[in-house]
Structure 1
Amino acid sequence: MIDTHVHFWNFDPVRDNWINEDMMAIRKDFSPKNLLRVYNDLQITGCIAVQANQSEEENHFLLTLAEQNEIIKGIVGWVDLLSPNLDERLTYWSNFKTIKGWRHILQAENADFILNKKFIAGVNLLKKYNYTYDLLCYHNQLTDIIKMVDQIPDQPFVLDHCGKPDVKSQDIKSWSENIKTLASNPNVLCKVSGLLTEADWKNWTEKELFNCFDTIFEHFGPERVMYGSDWPVMLLSRPYQDWFNLVYKYTERFFAAERKLIFTDNATNFYGV
């Protein structure tokens, strides 16, 4: 099994200022070694390390970790997709085969950025190098994400954290409608990940999360959904095993071959690991 969404960092209070005082559980270092025991217990054989810092130094940091830790099967890094030297930078990074794709933290940007022609052209260039692109956004940005994705045919996309629905309020009608539209694009997959931190961290219910799962699996189907944890961010709510067990419980309704797609095959095919 592959966990398609984990982060590693040596905590820096200035660089990592998004980890505020309410997040004491993750205001510390996290390395692959912290995952080995839980992965062994759950028979998870590898992970995709996703950028948490928007710098090319982050790519080298993750590459070093991957060289030292076999559980890292692929990396989703960061590169300046607006750079006039993007082609040159992608040529450079293509020498590092562990890097499978790229991500920009679009949840911190506005519509003008998401629909910027230069940004769209940058994402469009990724196909030349067979790179994937991870879409990170809030539910209220999905209409812009749909417009962006529709302008970049044949680019492999994956939506992180189900597009961050408002699990806490359960106001998910417009999110569900946008997920239906986004999923109609066959080039977009979805990670079932990161929902614990969109819920009430300590008081969420299984039903609240399963309501969101219902929408994702109805529209993407098990053929285009992949398991991810969003560790260590999800530790703000629960231990790793609780999230894994929740997803596993929900997917027991599927055939064994479909569960294999969700937990293994979709990830290996999408990221080429």
Structure 2
Amino acid sequence: MIIDSHQHFWIYNSKKHAWIDDEMASIRKDFLPEDLKPIYQQNEVDACVAVQADQTNAETNFLLQLANENDFIKGIVGWIDLRSRKIVAELESYQAQPKIKGWRHIVQGEADVNFLLRSDFLNGIAQLEQFEYTYDILVYPHQLGAVLEFVKKFPNQRFVIDHLAKPYIKDGFFDGWAILMKEIAKNENVYCKLSGMITEANYTNWSEKQLKPYIDLVMEAFDAKRVMYGSDWPVCLVAGTYTQVIDIVRNYIGYLDECDQQRIMGKNAQEFYNL
């Protein structure tokens, strides 16, 4: 089974989706399950995890509705205010919704480089384990120092780093990102998604050769047992097609044995998110 561990749906709104800048104008429109399903059929993808793109409870409920209406959406990563003083009650309110697998905060958009280490946020994360929820880490490389301290505080919490922590592929920066990713990977409860790479490179002239050192590092640090494929559709469309995105990973992992290939393309996501 092939599972896309990271994609989005939205009904485009210029205020809500203000992060879609002029360079990304081609995705200023609606993207819904009926748009994605034929793409999955063409690329032999069986299922997916839909991830939040807006920080509201309405976003979580929107994704939940889509998941309940479309069986190929096997789970969602929603948004909840993890800083809330009522976080336990709010998490409890979602326990009757089995398709909610975890949560994400758009930490990359926070000005405070140590946002993850704020006491109120840490309190929210500390509540996730009892409900068996995962947490997706969305950061830029300059926030990885905080990520290292953050994951050490919760050795039993399942974490996954989105988009390789968005390395500056376009500029060729590597070493600082690589050092911290290796240290973070020593924590065996942390996984990493092979996703969002072509949009961190040059939209128009990226190459698989350019991406290879970054994938090499992730594979070396996390191993096939803690890496999962994700497309980042429809964001990926600003730099390429869905087929190009999935082929990057398929081409790279061709040297691995069949078991490891299956892990990366689906089994790890299935186990991590309890799909």
TM-score where L is the length of structure 1: 0.98
Contact residue 135 and residue 159 of structure 1 kept, 8 A: yes
Structure 2 match to 1:83:
84
Shift of residue 71 of structure 1?
Answer: 1.3
Worse overlay, 53-62 or 33-42: 33-42
Shift of residue 213 of structure 1?
Answer: 0.3
Contact residue 134 and residue 157 of structure 1 kept, 8 A: yes
Once the two structures are superposed, residues 21-76 of structure 1 have per-residue CA deviations (whole angstroms, 9 ceiling, x without a partner) of 22111100000111112211221110000000001101110111112211100000
CA distance in 2, matches of 1:68, 1:155: 29
Worse overlay, 200-209 or 46-55: 200-209
Following TM superposition, where does structure 1 have runs of at least 4 consecutive aligned residues deviating by more than 6 angstroms?
none
* 2:44 partner letter: Q
After superposition, residues 186-201 of structure 1 pair within 5 angstroms as 186-201=188-203
The alignment yields a C-alpha RMSD, in angstroms, of: 0.8
CA distance in 1, matches of 2:177, 2:65: 38
Once the two structures are superposed, residues 187-234 of structure 1 have per-residue CA deviations (whole angstroms, 9 ceiling, x without a partner) of 000000001110001111211111100000001010000000000000
CA distance in 1, matches of 2:171, 2:248: 20
* 2:209 partner letter: K
Structure 2 match to 1:154:
156
Q: How many residues align?
A: 273
Structure 1 match to 2:225:
223
Shift of residue 97 of structure 1?
Answer: 0.6
Structure 2 match to 1:238:
240
Structure 1 match to 2:173:
171
Shift of residue 253 of structure 1?
Answer: 1.0
CA distance in 1, matches of 2:205, 2:126: 41
Tell me which of 260, 263, 266 is aligned to 2:262. Answer: 260
Structure 2 match to 1:249:
251
* 2:226 partner letter: R
TM-score where L is the length of structure 2: 0.98
Structure 1 match to 2:273:
271
* Runs of 5+ consecutive residues of structure 2 not aligned to the other structure: none
After superposition, residues 42-121 of structure 1 pair within 5 angstroms as 42-109=43-110, 110-121=112-123
Identity across the alignment (%): 41
